[in-house]
């Protein structure tokens, strides 16, 4: 897997690695939690899929710098679900660059902080640093995104948004989880509906598949798409042997294969 990152001037650990996926499609991976955002250059402007993990969007901005895209060229942010490692930078980008934000109504209470916890949980959540796996813990303690972010549009299944992306409603990991297909490159952005480990398609660990029957149906749905590239929320994209990997996991699930504990 080819990655591109410039060494930092002060010798600090690299915050973001850039992995090219397809023509005009890049993955930004944070080594601290292998959480991935994606950037797609379209005829109508630059579109991001997921913008964790910093609520300042510093990590996302660093990825953009590495591929020489100015932040004001980003026109839209497509969010797969509310977890902080996927969405923390959205409020900042909307406020500063007027990006259009898309997500599903099922996760709206968390995105808008209607579900935000109170008292000690909230206090603890706010004091958890935005580093590594702690980012997810922070969100789960607060039960909400770090800053409320409104959608410019609530997505529906099958809808085409930003001209080139089709919405797949894929609940299970969260109630409003969605995936997006970039039709021109046949790239599937599946968030946490599927995982990729060592160039193999996998399921997410069972404890994070909150609604297991829904997660199973969503994984099947993603696998049945004739995608050329699969871009999950963690570790990195699957760009080789995609059809074979899709078939393998599809056969397993269709034969009634059990959902493994560790995915
Ligand atoms: Zn998640």
Q: What is the mean pLDDT of the chain?
A: 91
Better-predicted residue by pLDDT, 243 or 3: 243
Task: Summarize pLDDT for 69-126 with one digit per residue, the tens.
Answer: 999 999 999 999 999 999 999 999 999 999 999 999 999 999 998 887 677 777 777 7
Supply the DSSP symbol for 241. Answer: S
Taking the C-alpha atoms of residue 140 and residue 17, their distance in angstroms, rounded to an integer, is 26
The structure tokens listed for 1 are: 């897997």
Confidence of residue 171 (pLDDT cuts 50, 70, 90): very high
Residues 6+ apart with CB under 8 A from 49: 37, 38, 39, 40, 77, 78, 79, 80, 180, 189, 231
Compute the distance from residue 83 Cα to the ligand 1 centre, in Å. 5
Cα 194 to middle of ligand 1, angstroms: 11
Q: How far is the CA of 19 from the centre of ligand 1 (A)?
A: 21
Torsion of CA 129, 60, 36, 3, to 10 degrees: -120
Q: Which helix (H) or strand (E) holds 187?
A: strand 187-191
Torsion of CA 155, 49, 83, 52, to 10 degrees: -150
Taking residue 38's Cβ as centre, other Cβ atoms within 10 Å add up to: 27
Q: Collapse the DSSP code of 153 into the 3-class scheme (helix H, G, I; strand E, B; otherwise coil) and give the result.
A: strand
Once rounded to an integer, what is the mean pLDDT over residues 150-172?
98
Distance 122 CA to ligand 1 centre (A): 19
What is the average pLDDT across 38-51? 96
Greater model confidence, 125 or 176: 176
Q: How is the chain split among helix, strand and coil, in percent rounded to 5? A: 30, 25, 45
Query: Which are the contacts of 157, defined by CB distance < 8 A and separation ≥ 6?
Result: 167, 168, 169
Per the DSSP assignment, residues forming a β-bridge with 160 are 166
Q: Separation of 206 CA from ligand 1 center, angstroms?
A: 12
80 CA to middle of ligand 1, Å? 9
Residue 76: both structure tokens together: 């839209």
Express each pLDDT in 208-231 by its tens digit.
Answer: 888 999 999 999 999 999 999 999
- C-alpha of residue 10 to centroid of ligand 1, in Å: 32
In residues, how long is the chain? 263
Nearest to 168 by CA among 193, 200, 205: 193
| Nearest one of 130, 226, 139, 221 to 172, comparing CA atoms | 221
Cα 160–chain centre separation: 18
Split at pLDDT 50, 70, 90, the class of 2 is low
d(CA 199, CA 196) in angstroms, rounded, equals 6
- Token pair, residue 242, equals 């995609």
- Whether cis (ω within 30° of 0) applies to the bond prior to 177 is no
How many Å lie between the centroid of ligand 1 and the Cα of residue 35?
Answer: 10
For residue 11, the CA-to-ligand 1 centroid distance in Å is 30
pTM above 0.85, yes or no: yes
């Amino acid at each position: 897997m080819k990655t591109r990152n410039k060494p930092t001037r002060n010798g600090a650990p690299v915050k973001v690695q850039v992995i090219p996926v397809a023509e005009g499609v890049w993955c930004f991976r944070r080594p601290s939690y292998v959480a991935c955002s994606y950037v797609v250059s379209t005829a109508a402007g630059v579109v991001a899929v997921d913008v964790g993990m910093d609520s300042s969007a510093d990590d996302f901005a660093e990825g953009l710098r590495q591929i020489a895209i100015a932040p004001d060229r980003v026109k839209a942010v497509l969010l797969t679900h509310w977890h902080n490692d996927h969405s923390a930078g959205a409020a900042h980008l909307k406020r500063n660059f007027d990006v259009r934000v898309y997500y599903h109504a099922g996760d709206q209470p968390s995105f808008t902080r209607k579900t935000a916890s109170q008292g000690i949980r909230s206090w603890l959540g706010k004091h958890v640093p935005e580093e590594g796996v702690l980012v997810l813990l922070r969100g789960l303690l607060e039960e909400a995104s770090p800053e409320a972010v409104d959608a410019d549009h609530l997505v529906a299944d099958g809808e085409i948004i930003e001209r080139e992306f089709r919405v797949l409603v894929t609940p299970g990991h969260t109630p409003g989880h969605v995936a997006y297909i970039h039709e021109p490159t046949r790239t599937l952005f599946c968030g946490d509906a599927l995982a990729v480990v060592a160039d193999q398609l996998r399921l997410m660990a069972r404890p994070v598949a909150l609604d297991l029957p829904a997660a199973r149906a969503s994984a099947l749905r993603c696998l049945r798409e004739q995608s050329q590239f699969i871009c999950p929320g963690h570790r990195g994209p699957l760009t080789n042997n995609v059809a074979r990997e899709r078939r393998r996991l599809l056969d397993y699930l269709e034969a009634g294969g059990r959902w493994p504990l560790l995915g």
